[in-house]
C-alpha cells in the first residue's frame, strides 16, 4: 500500500485560493476606503497612520488564521463559516483596540471601528457570493465529493435521503458497504444482500472498504454507527484510509445534534463528543422573544401598504371574508387563533399568486407580535396533529412557539412528508441559535420571492 496524504480536489484548491484572495482584498479595500475617506489628502502619507494600518491588518490576519477561517473543511459550509469570520473580526477589533490604547495611538480609532467592521461586512458578502456559485455548480453535478457509506441499511437509507439531491451537503453518495447483521437480529428467512439502497449500488461489506475505495476512487468514506464500529476497528480503518489518501467521516449516534451543543471534550487523552442539554427558557430565549416581536412589528410597518392592497383586492374579488381564522396548537399545547388572507378566490390568478408567494400567510406576523408565534420556529401544528407525536421526541416540538417560517419552509414545505417535516422541526429545536434564525430568515426571503418549493 502506497503512502499518500489526503489532497483536496482541483476545484477545492481553486476555491481555497479564491476565498483567500477575496478575504485579503476585502480587508485591503476597507482599509483603503477609510484611509482615503477620512484623510483624503494625507491618508496614505502620514507615517503613524501607515503604521496603524499595517498593525490592524496584521492583527486581523492573525485572528483569521487562529480562528481557522481558511480551514478547507468549513469553506462553503454556511453558518459555521460565517460564525468563525464574525468571531475572528470581533477578536481582531478587541486586540487592536487594546494595542492602540496601550500605545496611545488615537488615530487608530478610524481603522479599528471603521475599517474592520466594513471589512467584516465585505468579507461576509464575498463569502456568500462564492457559496452561491458553489451551490449553483452543485445543482449541475459539479463540485461534489464522491462518498462511500458504510453501515446498516436503515442508517444508510436515512443518510442517502438527506444528502443526495441536496446541493448544501456537497456530497454524492456513490457506493455502499453494508455491515453484516448480527445473527440474533437476522431475519428468520435468509435473504441475499440488496444490490442497491435508494439507487446507490452496494459494492461490498465493511470488510471490503479499502478495496472498494481504491477501485472506485472515492474521496471520502462515511462510517455510520453499527454493532461492528469499535474503537480499535475505527483506528485501524483510519490508518488504512490515510494510506490511500481518503478522508474518514464518522457520524455520531445522535446525527441530528450539531452546532453549539456539540463539541469535543478531551478526557485523559481520549476525545469525547460532549452534548450539552438543550435549553428552552432563560435569558437567551427572552431575548429571542423580544427580537421576534420587534422585528415582526417592523416588517408589518414596512409591508402595511401591501397588506392594505391585498385586503382590498380580496374584498373586490367577491363575497366572503378577507381573513380566515384557523385554530392552531402553540407552545405547551395551548390553542390560539391564527389568521390568513382568504386564498380561495374567484380570480384564480390572484389566489394562485397569494399562495405561491405566501402572501396569504402575512397576517401571521400579527400572531408573532402578539406572542403566540415566533418569527422562526417549528411548523404550526393543527389541533389533532400532536396526537401523532407519540414518544419519538415529536412532543418536544410543543416546548417552543411555532414559527412564521422555519426549516420546513425553506426545505420544501408542501413537498415534505410528515416525517421529514417533523425531523426538520426537531433539528431546529435541538440546535437553535441566533445565527440559525438569521440564516433561515435570509433564505426564506429568497424562497418566497422566487415562489419555489412553497406551493
Asked if residues 335 and 329 have their Cβ atoms less than 8 Å apart, the reply is: yes
The pLDDT, as a whole number, for residue 109 is 76
Asked if residues 197 and 156 have their Cβ atoms less than 8 Å apart, the reply is: yes
CA 146 to chain centre: 21
Q: Name the pLDDT band for 34 (thresholds 50, 70, 90).
A: confident
237 lies in the same domain as 324: no
Look at residue 277 and tell me if it is in a domain.
no
Look at residue 385 and tell me if it is in a domain.
yes
| Least confident interval from 56-70, 206-220, 364-378, 399-413 | 399-413
Asked if residues 376 and 406 have their Cβ atoms less than 8 Å apart, the reply is: yes
93 lies in the same domain as 116: yes
pLDDT at 369 over 90: yes
Look at residue 422 and tell me if it is in a domain.
yes
d(CA 276, CA 430): 10
129 lies in the same domain as 235: no
pLDDT at 47 over 70: no
Name, of 7-16, 131-140, 252-261, the range with top average pLDDT: 131-140
The predicted model gives 151-180 an average pLDDT of 77
pTM > 0.75: yes or no: no
99 lies in the same domain as 174: no
The pLDDT, as a whole number, for residue 348 is 66
The predicted model gives 273-298 an average pLDDT of 79
What's the grid cell of residue 335? 390553542
d(CA 50, CA 61): 17
- Whole-number mean pLDDT of the chain? 77
72 lies in the same domain as 103: yes
128 lies in the same domain as 19: yes
Look at residue 259 and tell me if it is in a domain.
no
360 lies in the same domain as 439: yes
Look at residue 4 and tell me if it is in a domain.
no
Look at residue 264 and tell me if it is in a domain.
no
Q: Name the pLDDT band for 168 (thresholds 50, 70, 90).
A: low
Alpha-carbon separation of residue 445 from 152, 409, 441 (angstroms): 39, 11, 6
126 lies in the same domain as 210: no
Q: In sequence order, what DSSP letters do the residues of 243-283 get, joined into one string?
A: HTT-EEEE--S-TT--GGGEEEEEETTEEEEEEPPP--SSH
19 lies in the same domain as 75: yes
287 lies in the same domain as 409: yes
431 lies in the same domain as 289: yes
pLDDT at 415 over 80: no
pLDDT at 25 over 90: yes
Asked if residues 112 and 53 have their Cβ atoms less than 8 Å apart, the reply is: no
pLDDT at 7 over 80: no
d(CA 419, CA 398): 16
Q: Name the pLDDT band for 294 (thresholds 50, 70, 90).
A: very high
Asked if residues 439 and 128 have their Cβ atoms less than 8 Å apart, the reply is: no
The pLDDT, as a whole number, for residue 385 is 62
Look at residue 272 and tell me if it is in a domain.
no
d(CA 274, CA 261): 8
| Least confident interval from 64-78, 122-136, 161-175, 381-395 | 381-395
The pLDDT, as a whole number, for residue 125 is 92
Kindly tell me the number of DSSP H helices and DSSP E strands found in the chain: 14, 12
Pairing state of beta strands 262-267 and 247-250?
unpaired
318 lies in the same domain as 377: yes
Mind listing the pLDDT tens digit for each residue in 300-317? Answer: 999 999 899 888 888 887
pLDDT at 128 over 60: yes
Burial zone of 51 (CB within 10 Å; 0-12 exposed, 13-18 middle, 19+ buried): middle
Q: Name the pLDDT band for 381 (thresholds 50, 70, 90).
A: confident
**How many domains are there within the chain?**
3
Considering only CA atoms, which of 341, 311, 310 is closest in space to residue 324?
A: 341
Look at residue 322 and tell me if it is in a domain.
yes
Phi-psi region of 264 (alpha: psi -120 to 50; beta: other; left: phi over 0): beta
Q: Name the pLDDT band for 171 (thresholds 50, 70, 90).
A: confident
pLDDT at 44 over 70: no
Better-predicted residue by pLDDT, 418 or 124? 124
Q: Name the pLDDT band for 23 (thresholds 50, 70, 90).
A: very high
Better-predicted residue by pLDDT, 101 or 26? 26
- By residue range, what is the domain housing residue 125? 10-139
| Least confident interval from 66-70, 295-299, 386-390 | 386-390
pLDDT at 5 over 50: no
What is the total residue count of the chain? 455
Considering only CA atoms, which of 453, 425, 442, 451 is closest in space to residue 360?
A: 451
Mind listing the pLDDT tens digit for each residue in 326-364? Answer: 888 888 778 888 888 886 665 667 777 777 778 888 899
Amino acid at each position: 500500500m502506497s503512502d499518500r496524504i489526503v489532497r483536496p480536489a482541483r476545484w477545492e484548491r481553486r476555491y481555497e485560493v479564491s476565498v483567500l484572495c477575496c478575504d485579503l482584498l476585502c480587508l485591503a479595500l476597507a482599509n483603503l476606503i477609510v484611509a482615503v475617506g477620512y484623510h483624503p489628502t494625507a491618508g496614505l502619507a502620514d507615517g503613524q497612520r501607515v503604521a496603524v494600518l499595517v498593525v490592524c491588518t496584521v492583527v486581523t490576519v492573525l485572528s483569521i488564521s487562529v480562528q481557522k477561517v481558511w480551514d478547507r473543511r468549513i469553506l462553503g459550509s454556511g453558518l459555521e463559516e460565517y460564525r468563525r469570520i464574525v468571531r475572528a473580526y470581533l477578536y481582531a477589533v478587541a486586540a487592536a483596540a487594546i494595542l492602540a490604547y496601550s500605545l496611545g495611538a488615537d488615530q487608530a480609532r478610524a481603522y479599528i471601528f471603521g475599517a474592520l467592521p466594513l471589512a467584516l461586512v465585505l468579507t461576509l458578502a464575498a463569502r456568500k457570493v462564492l457559496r452561491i456559485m458553489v451551490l449553483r455548480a452543485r445543482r449541475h453535478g459539479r463540485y461534489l465529493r464522491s462518498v462511500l457509506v458504510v453501515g446498516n441499511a436503515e442508517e444508510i437509507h436515512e443518510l442517502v435521503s438527506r444528502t443526495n439531491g441536496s446541493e448544501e451537503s456537497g456530497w454524492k453518495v456513490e457506493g455502499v458497504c453494508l455491515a453484516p447483521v448480527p445473527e440474533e437480529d437476522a431475519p428468520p428467512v435468509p435473504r441475499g444482500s440488496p444490490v442497491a439502497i435508494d439507487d446507490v449500488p452496494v459494492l461490498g461489506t465493511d470488510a471490503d472498504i479499502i478495496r472498494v475505495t481504491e477501485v472506485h476512487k472515492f474521496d471520502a468514506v462515511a462510517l455510520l454507527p453499527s454493532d461492528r464500529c469499535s474503537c480499535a476497528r475505527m483506528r485501524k480503518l483510519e490508518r488504512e484510509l490515510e494510506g490511500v489518501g481518503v478522508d474518514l467521516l464518522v457520524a455520531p449516534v445522535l446525527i441530528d445534534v450539531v452546532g453549539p451543543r456539540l463539541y469535543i471534550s478531551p478526557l485523559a487523552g481520549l476525545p469525547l463528543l460532549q452534548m450539552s442539554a438543550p435549553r428552552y427558557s432563560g435569558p437567551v430565549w427572552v431575548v429571542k422573544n423580544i427580537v421576534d416581536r420587534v422585528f415582526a412589528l417592523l416588517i408589518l410597518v414596512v409591508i402595511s401598504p401591501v397588506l392594505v392592497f391585498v385586503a382590498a383586492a380580496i374584498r373586490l374579488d367577491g363575497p366572503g371574508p378577507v381573513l380566515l381564522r384557523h385554530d392552531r396548537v402553540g407552545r405547551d399545547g395551548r390553542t390560539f387563533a391564527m389568521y390568513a388572507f382568504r386564498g380561495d378566490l374567484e380570480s384564480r390568478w390572484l389566489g394562485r399568486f397569494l399562495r405561491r408567494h405566501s402572501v396569504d400567510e402575512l397576517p401571521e406576523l400579527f400572531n408573532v407580535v402578539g406572542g403566540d408565534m415566533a418569527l422562526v420556529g417549528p411548523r404550526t401544528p393543527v389541533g389533532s396533529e400532536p396526537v401523532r407525536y407519540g414518544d419519538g421526541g415529536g412532543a418536544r416540538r410543543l416546548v417552543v412557539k411555532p414559527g412564521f417560517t422555519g426549516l420546513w419552509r425553506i426545505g420544501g414545505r408542501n413537498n415534505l412528508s410528515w416525517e421529514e417535516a417533523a425531523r426538520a422541526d426537531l433539528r431546529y429545536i435541538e440546535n437553535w441559535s441566533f445565527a440559525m434564525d438569521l440564516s433561515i430568515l435570509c433564505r426564506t426571503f429568497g424562497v418566497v420571492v422566487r415562489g419555489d418549493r412553497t406551493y
